[in-house]
Amino acid sequence: MSTPRVLISGASIAGPSLAFWLTRYGWETTVVERAPAFRDGGQNVDIRGAAREVLRRAGLEDAAREATTGELGTRFVGDHGETIAEFPVTDSDTDGATAEVEILRGDLARIFVDRTEGSSTTYRYGDRITALDDDGTRVRVSFEDGEDEDFDLVIAADGIRSSTRDLAFGRESVVRSLGLEMTYLTIPRDDTDIPWWQWYSGVGGRSITLRPDRHGTTRAVLTEVTKDRGDGVIPPRRSAQAQRAHLRERFADLPWQATRILDAMDGVDDIYYESIGQVRSPRWASGRVALLGDAAWCASPVSGMGTSLSIVGAYVLAGELASHVHHRDAFLGYERIMRPYVEQAQSLPPGTPQLANPTSRAGVGAFRTVLRIAASKPAKRLGAQLFSPPADKIDLPEYEHLLATR
Ligand SMILES: Cc1cc2nc3c(=O)[nH]c(=O)nc-3n(C[C@H](O)[C@H](O)[C@H](O)COP(=O)(O)OP(=O)(O)OC[C@H]3O[C@@H](n4cnc5c(N)ncnc54)[C@H](O)[C@@H]3O)c2cc1C
């Protein structure tokens, strides 16, 4: 039998993780990424529960630990930076806002890309899929920049707004907006920065967070509540320039570090901005095309599970593909194992994300009181659970025997 050839769209977390496992099982993969080069941006993502176990099995846990940001915990601050409540990092896989393995998204993606590039995986930057023709025996793929090519399978791992998903499934998936926008940017470090995740909540449903990284810079996020809530109302993306103007208008009157971040913004190239939402897809496979990661099931950054789901999903999808003769059985196995895990992660606590992003002055005051109580000694455990996603709720299949045969 000839070596199966798989095309993966998207070189962030899900795509390169899938390439990693498929390569280990002896498959050939091409990863097409629309950005002109590897994307370094973003900030801390958590690796929890089953995802840590997957990294262990991949032999990558040490590499991930070495790349952690060293964050000591989460500290909520007031208008002048004074501490309102703090939640130190825990060594639990599941509890707390700051997980034990906190790593920058770009550093984690780099770990997977470095271990696949140059092996039987090819990365094709600055390109994208424009058409798919699945004739039941292979998929003919047209690219924006290049000749058509045939692949055995195509996997869309190109994020919440996946255009590959639309090509293969039409408008089947629903993107549910949670009424929140987040802008991520990397700014110069200054001596007010500390090794804690500092979180300021202000009126108007706006918040600012600052986090340490291990590259001598600081990762900032500006979050705002919007009116766009519900199914299918995810707004179109603004250009980077329009986003800068928008942020100036919305955040200029906030205290604490708002001015510093807005002043630093002009020198920042990679502003990553996203409307926060969840993807509900009735199925994750159609013929020889399947969905993975945020493209399939985006649970959103507020779930704290986006990256863990992608790492686990890639492991399961690759394991099922390598275990079955027919891709249809593999896709069925993948969905049977992953769907309950995904649904748990998607089910957010009532009031999320609005409760943590109050709009009125009274709401901000009430939120701070809740934080103070949650951080107090008697309620500390409860406080940690406030931020705790369901990290361990999956029976991770063993695919070790597949490695032994290579
Ligand atoms: C630059 C960046 C920064 C991020 N920062 C954070 C963060 O700080 N915190 C957080 O919680 N989450 C962040 N995320 C999202 C987070 O990575 C995901 O929620 C999660 O890890 C699941 O990853 P994914 O690989 O499924 O999707 P994503 O991480 O969204 O990756 C999708 C990839 O597909 C590429 N792509 C999109 N469309 C196409 C196309 N048509 N053809 C080819 N490629 C395409 C994108 O450029 C991207 O590289 C960030 C994502 C990116 C891309």
For residue 177, how far is its CA from the centre of ligand 1 (angstroms)?
17
For residue 74, how far is its CA from the centre of ligand 1 (angstroms)?
24
339 backbone φψ class: left, alpha, beta (φ>0; ψ -120 to 50): alpha
Tell me the C-alpha distance between 39 and 123, whole Å: 12
User: Is the distance from CB of 280 to CB of 299 less than 8 angstroms?
Assistant: no
For residue 254, how far is its CA from the centre of ligand 1 (angstroms)?
29
Neighbouring C-beta atoms of residue 301, cutoff 10 Å: 22
For position 182, what pLDDT does the model report? Answer: 95
* CA-based torsion, 318, 324, 328, 329: positive or negative: negative
For residue 12, how far is its CA from the centre of ligand 1 (angstroms)?
5
Residues 6+ apart with CB under 8 A from 146: 124, 127
Report pTM: 0.93
User: Which ligand 1 atom minimizes the distance to the CA of 41?
Assistant: 1
User: Is the distance from CB of 177 to CB of 230 less than 8 angstroms?
Assistant: yes
Find the largest Cα–Cα distance for the chain. 67
For residue 15, how far is its CA from the centre of ligand 1 (angstroms)?
10
Beta-strand pair 102-104/28-33 = unpaired
Tell me the C-alpha distance between 114 and 105, whole Å: 14
Residues 6+ apart with CB under 8 A from 14: 157, 292, 293, 294, 295, 310, 313, 314
Residues 6+ apart with CB under 8 A from 233: 177
Beta-strand pair 28-33/121-125 = parallel
Tell me the C-alpha distance between 9 and 12, whole Å: 10
C-alpha dihedral, 100 to 84 to 302 to 344, nearest 10°: 70
For residue 18, how far is its CA from the centre of ligand 1 (angstroms)?
14
User: Which ligand 1 atom minimizes the distance to the CA of 40?
Assistant: 1
Strand ranges (DSSP E) for 213-255?
Answer: 217-231
User: Which ligand 1 atom minimizes the distance to the CA of 13?
Assistant: 25
User: Is the distance from CB of 179 to CB of 228 less than 8 angstroms?
Assistant: yes
For residue 142, how far is its CA from the centre of ligand 1 (angstroms)?
22
Tell me the C-alpha distance between 283 and 296, whole Å: 8
Residues 6+ apart with CB under 8 A from 166: none
CA-closest residue to ligand 1 atom 3:
42
Instruction: Give the amino acid at 92.
Output: S
Instruction: Give the amino acid at 100.
Output: E
For residue 307, how far is its CA from the centre of ligand 1 (angstroms)?
9
Ligand 1, residues at Cβ distance < 6 Å:
9-15, 32-35, 39, 41-43, 45, 105, 128, 157-159, 163-164, 184, 272, 293-294, 301, 306-307, 310
Beta-strand pair 73-77/83-88 = antiparallel
For position 261, what pLDDT does the model report? Answer: 97
For residue 255, how far is its CA from the centre of ligand 1 (angstroms)?
30
Question: What tokens were used for 146?
Answer: 């290049």
For position 271, what pLDDT does the model report? Answer: 84
For position 356, what pLDDT does the model report? Answer: 85
Question: What tokens were used for 28?
Answer: 């050939």
User: Which ligand 1 atom minimizes the distance to the CA of 128?
Assistant: 42
For residue 41, how far is its CA from the centre of ligand 1 (angstroms)?
9
Q: Please state the φ and ψ torsions of residue 346, each to the nearest 5 degrees.
A: -75, -20
Task: Return the closest-CA partner of residue 33 out of 3, 8, 6.
Answer: 8
For position 2, what pLDDT does the model report? Answer: 81
Mutation pick for ligand 1 pocket among 105, 132, 316 (CB with most ligand atoms within 8 Å): 105
Mutation pick for ligand 1 pocket among 54, 129, 158, 211 (CB with most ligand atoms within 8 Å): 158
Question: What tokens were used for 318?
Answer: 């690759």
User: Which ligand 1 atom minimizes the distance to the CA of 39?
Assistant: 1
Mutation pick for ligand 1 pocket among 12, 130, 141 (CB with most ligand atoms within 8 Å): 12
Instruction: Give the amino acid at 159.
Output: G
For residue 213, how far is its CA from the centre of ligand 1 (angstroms)?
19
Measured in residues, the chain has a length of 406
User: Which ligand 1 atom minimizes the distance to the CA of 292?
Assistant: 26
Predicted confidence (pLDDT) per residue in 298-320, tens digit: 999 999 899 999 999 999 999 99
For position 228, what pLDDT does the model report? Answer: 86
Mean pLDDT by 10 residues, the chain (406 residues): 91 98 96 94 85 95 90 94 90 56 91 91 97 97 96 98 96 93 94 95 96 92 92 84 95 97 88 92 97 97 93 98 96 97 92 87 94 80 56 83 66
